[in-house]
Amino acid sequence: MVESLRGHMSALNTLISDSARRYDEDALNRGTRPEKAVADREQALLDRVERAKTSADRDSLYVQLAFMLANRGDMRARDYVSKVEDTELRKQAQAYLDATLAMHFVEKKLTDQALEIVHKGELTPLLKTWALAQSAKNLVKTDKDKALEIVDEAATEARRIDVSDANLPRALVAVANAINVVDVGRVWDATFDAVKAANSAEGFTGEDGELVLKFQSKGQSSVHTNDVADFDLEGIFKDLATKDYDRAVELARGFQAEGPRAVATIAIARAILEPKRR
């Protein structure tokens, strides 16, 4: 079996470029060897760019540089990806790293940077809506007027999604969660909008909300999945049930599909039946 595997590995090695192999080795050895300073790693890659013999090799190195910086929230990543000559590769890499930057800024609660990448970056409407909604929640304690403005922008962005797309109700649920924090008086109308959207969309279950980032090229590939609770019905319906049980039940009955109606109903039941935490 070992000999067979070695034969397969030898055959596959002939299909992989040296730059891709070194990139994979760096990823595999991370944590087992002392980390180089980011500046040193960046310079080492730039030196290899200078020695690259083909535009494809240079493109691969620029993508590595961009991804390395994007994972640390460094906006210079966008400068490196702009140097990629292959149009399709540049487009794919730009979308992936802009999404990576947006998620990094939201996670770190760097609201100014998150808003900058929303307005500058190549993001999907779903990702823009999520980033804006999260930014609004992060701002509500320090600048409520700005938070209100941003949550309205999130709602506008959500409505750019096609009515048959399951991402529309997911986005509107995220908006409702943000409004529940920023302007609670509007939360019922916002949730009703999500219910209506769910009835027109195919494949919306009301749970398992996530953001998936994918990048695929000849020498590199990456998939990043991030669970997003604010896309799911459970949180918003549990909270609504504690505000007005009858009204929450009526909203849950508005779902035409069994899946989301069940998720909302169970969330309401849990909110009422589970013992309150001290």
Alpha carbon distance 261, 237 (integer Å):
11
Distances (CA, A) of 29 to 22, 25, 71, 226: 10, 6, 17, 24
**C-alpha closest to that of 125 among 192, 75, 194, 174:** 174
pTM, whole model, 2 decimals? 0.81
pLDDT in tens, 83-111: 999 999 999 999 999 999 999 999 999 99
In this predicted structure, the answer to whether residue 262 has a pLDDT above a threshold of 70 is yes
Contact 203, 186 (CB under 8 A): no
Residue 228: count of CB within 10 angstroms of its CB: 18
Digit-coded pLDDT (tens) for 167-188? 999 999 999 999 999 999 999 9
- For residue 197, how many other CB atoms are within 10 A of its CB? 24
Query: What confidence category does residue 113 fall into, taking pLDDT thresholds of 50, 70 and 90?
Result: very high
The angle subtended at Cα 30 by Cα 122 and Cα 73, nearest 5°, is 30
